[in-house]
Structure formats: C-alpha cells, structure tokens
Amino acid sequence: MLLYLLGMFGIAAFAVTGVISSGKKDMDLFSVVFLGMVTSLGGGTIRDTVLGVEDVYWVSDTSYLWVAFLSSLAAFFAVRLMEDRQSVFHYADSFGLALFTVVATEKVLNLGFPSTIAITMGVITGIAGGIIRDVLSHRPPLVLGREFYATPAFLGALLLVLLEKNIPSHEFNSIYAVALVFILRVFAIHKGLYYPSWLLYKKR
C-alpha cells in the first residue's frame, strides 16, 4: 500500500518535470500533457517489458494512467504561477528519481529476482523516464551533467536491498531509501557534493 502511494507520487513528480522541460512557447495543452505522460510512465514501462511481467503496470491498473494524465494537466496550468521553474524542475526530478528507483527495486525483489537484477532495474527505472524527457526536449540528459545523479540512485537501491535482507518488510525501509536518494541529490545540486578528481572522466 505504501509502495503503491509512493509510486503514484513518483508519477506525479515526473509528470511535472516533463511538462516544465518539454514545454516550448506556444505548445498546445495536449502535446504538453502527452510529453508529461511519456516522462512519468516511461521508466516503469521499460522495467516491465524487460522483465516480461504479464501486463505493464499502467495497462493492468489504469489508475496510474489517470494520475499521469491529471498531474500533467494540473502542471500545465500550475506552471504559469511558478516563480522559479528550474528549482521546481530539479526538486521534482530528484523526488521522482528517489521514488521510482526505490519502488522499482522493491517491486523486482518481490517478484523473486536476485539483488543484482533488482538494483540494476531500480537504477534504470529511476533514470530512464528523465532520459526520454531530455532526449525529446533536446536538452542534454541530467545523468550526463556535472552533479552526480546515477550514484544516489545506485546507493538508494543498494540500501533498500540491504535493509530488506536484514530487517525484511520493516515498515519504513522504503522511506529510508527514498530519503537517502533525495537528500544526496539535493546536496549535489546545492552544495556541489561531488567525487574526488581521480574518479572523474578527463577529456583531452
């Protein structure tokens, strides 16, 4: 149940980032909503088709589809009132990344897959929606950016797996993992938290 709610929040958060990022001046309501929906449903769709689950999540439960639709619609109008769209974009993206990574990791664990697969699919699910959004709206993917992005997702997925192995189905396991990803991302954005130089790629 908690997992279900967290998933819904993640969809809403990513829908907002899709609307802010893909929106170009004078784009119409329906195109913007379409892009919000693709951003918010894309990551989980890849996860479910790769794992070959019976039905992709939003096909078997259309509530997800409606949440994606209504959040994108709301974001289309709300965006006019936002003072600082870039901040909203970054916070919503960090929140969505945290939620999607953790929910996906938990879901794949529950399906009985080994931890390696759960962590990999968690990171992919968290990052893929944003990559689709960034490719469609012609901006360089956040995962290629200067602040760290893939690392927090990986650490959150790892923490969840460790918690589930040691204190299985403890109520707040997923909350701890979500908090870890979100806090690391916010630190990365605001404090420039980063890697030591020898773990960075040097271009010649």
What does the binding site for its own copies look like in residue numbers (CB under 8 A)?
A: 22-35, 45, 49-56, 59, 62, 65-66, 76, 79-80, 85, 113-114, 116-117, 120, 123, 127, 131, 135-138, 140-141, 143-144, 146, 148-151, 154, 194-195, 199-204
Considering the complex, what minimum distance in angstroms separates the CB of residue 50 from its own copies?
5
Which residue intervals of 52-114 are DSSP H helices?
57-60, 63-78, 85-110
Between 131 and 178, name the residue whose CB sits nearer to its own copies: 131
Which amino acid does the sequence have at 129? G
Nearer to its own copies, 1 or 128 (CB): 128
Instruction: Find the shortest distance in angstroms from Cβ 138 to its own copies.
Output: 6
- Sequence-distant (≥ 6) Cβ neighbours of residue 194 within 8 angstroms: 146, 147, 148, 188
**151 vs 174 by CB, closer to its own copies:** 151
**Rounded CA gap, 192 and 78, in Å?**
29
For 161-185, the DSSP string reads: HHHHHHSTT-TTHHHHHHHHHHHHH
Is the Cβ of residue 7 or residue 130 nearer to its own copies in the bound state?
Answer: 130
Minimum distance between the CB of residue 170 and its own copies, rounded to whole angstroms? 26
**Contact status, residue 128 vs residue 104, Cβ threshold 8 Å:** no
Q: At what angle do helices 150-166 and 115-136 cross, to 10 degrees?
A: 150
Smallest distance, Å, CB 124 to its own copies? 8
- Cβ closer to its own copies: 71 or 151? 151
C-alpha gyration radius of the chain: 17
